[in-house]
Amino acid sequence: MNQLRRCISLVKIRLTRLGTHKRPFYRIIVADAKARRDGPFIEILGTYDPLVEPSKIEVDVERAKHWIGQGAQPSETAKRLLQKAGM
What predicted TM-score, i.e. pTM, was given to this entire model?
A: 0.82
Domain with residue 50: its CATH number is 3.30.1320.10
Q: How many domains does the structure of the chain reveal?
A: 1
Q: How far apart are CA 19 and CA 71, in angstroms?
A: 30
Mean pLDDT over 12-18 rounds to 93
Q: pLDDT at residue 14 above 70?
A: yes
- Cα dihedral sign, 27-43-34-84: positive
The domain of 75 spans 2-84
Question: pLDDT at residue 3 above 60?
Answer: no
- pLDDT tens across 30-61, in order? 999 888 888 888 999 999 999 999 999 999 99
